[in-house]
Amino acid sequence: MHRLSGSVLAVFVLVHVLQHLAVLAGAGSHLALMEALRTIYRWPPVEALLLLCVAIQLMTGLPLAWAARAPAQRWARFSGLYLLVFLGIHTGAVLVARTGGIDTNIYFAAAGMHAWPAAAFFYPYYFFAVVAVTIHMGSALARRQPLPRKRRFIWRCAGAGVLLSALILAGMARIDIPAPYLQPFVAAPFSAKLSSGTSG
Ligand code: HEM
């Protein structure tokens, strides 16, 4: 169940993470690409399948991490545990915001990186999510390989994840965030300035 739902989810996650590279060309490019991809992953049957896969990952991940005690399983274990927490918070936040009528676009995702102290949470939160995805997928793909080969492959995946993360975060850090998206992250004296249009 974990491998099957993980494989379906991996297709979305690969496209989803690579799509965030578009932010390097500006928020407009990211918004246009996300709008096009939404016609697929927000189509109710597809989104229902995607959310079912997330739920299965959350339910099956913890017992698997508990059971995975062999040294060869430690990459899958630690990356998986991080992804459990990340997926729970990330998917939950997107769904709650959407029911509140918020457009959960790149401004929504990046806002926390543009306000202190929230930025201290959001930078490592996204950074390790992308790295954990590449490590987790790498350890799944190399699970039948001898240990030294598996180790080398996972290090390469981790390196690719670090590079991908750094590029996405650099892009997200550079865009201007509209004031309403920043509002929940700024302290009261600054909120007043923001609502009068002087977010700086
Ligand atoms: C820098 C990293 C990431 C950013 C900036 C990001 C941003 C976003 C945004 C903006 C949405 C809302 C999409 C929409 O409204 O159309 C979203 C949804 C989602 N993301 Fe991410 N994401 C990141 C990484 C990940 C990773 C690593 C995973 C999985 C491990 C993931 C899983 C999901 C899922 C399952 C949804 C819900 C899709 C839906 O039902 O519409 N994200 N993400």
Max Cα separation, the chain?
Answer: 61
Integer distance in angstroms from the first to the last C-alpha of the chain? Answer: 49
**Domain of 38, in residue numbers:** 2-186
CB 50 within 8 A of CB 10: no
In-domain check, residue 174:
yes
Please state the domain count of the chain.
1
Q: In this model, does residue 142 exceed pLDDT 70?
A: yes
In-domain check, residue 65:
yes
In-domain check, residue 170:
yes
In-domain check, residue 196:
no
Q: Encode pLDDT of 91-114 as tens digits.
A: 999 999 999 999 999 999 999 999
Predicted local confidence at residue 151, as pLDDT: 92
Site to substitute for ligand 1 among 11, 16, 33, 43, most atoms within 8 A of C-beta = 16
Q: What is the mean pLDDT of the chain?
A: 91
In-domain check, residue 195:
no
Q: Angle formed by the axes of helices 44-67 and 2-19, to 10°?
A: 120
In-domain check, residue 141:
yes
CA-closest candidate to residue 75, choices 10, 143, 127: 143
Q: Encode pLDDT of 154-180 as tens digits.
A: 999 999 999 999 999 999 999 999 999
In-domain check, residue 197:
no
d(CA 66, CA 176): 42
In-domain check, residue 21:
yes
Around ligand 1, the residues with Cβ closer than 6 Å are 13, 16-17, 20, 34, 38, 41-42, 47, 50-51, 54, 83, 87, 90-91, 94, 104-106, 108-109, 126, 129-130, 133, 168
Provide the pLDDT confidence category of residue 191 given band limits of 50, 70 and 90: very low
d(CA 157, CA 161): 6
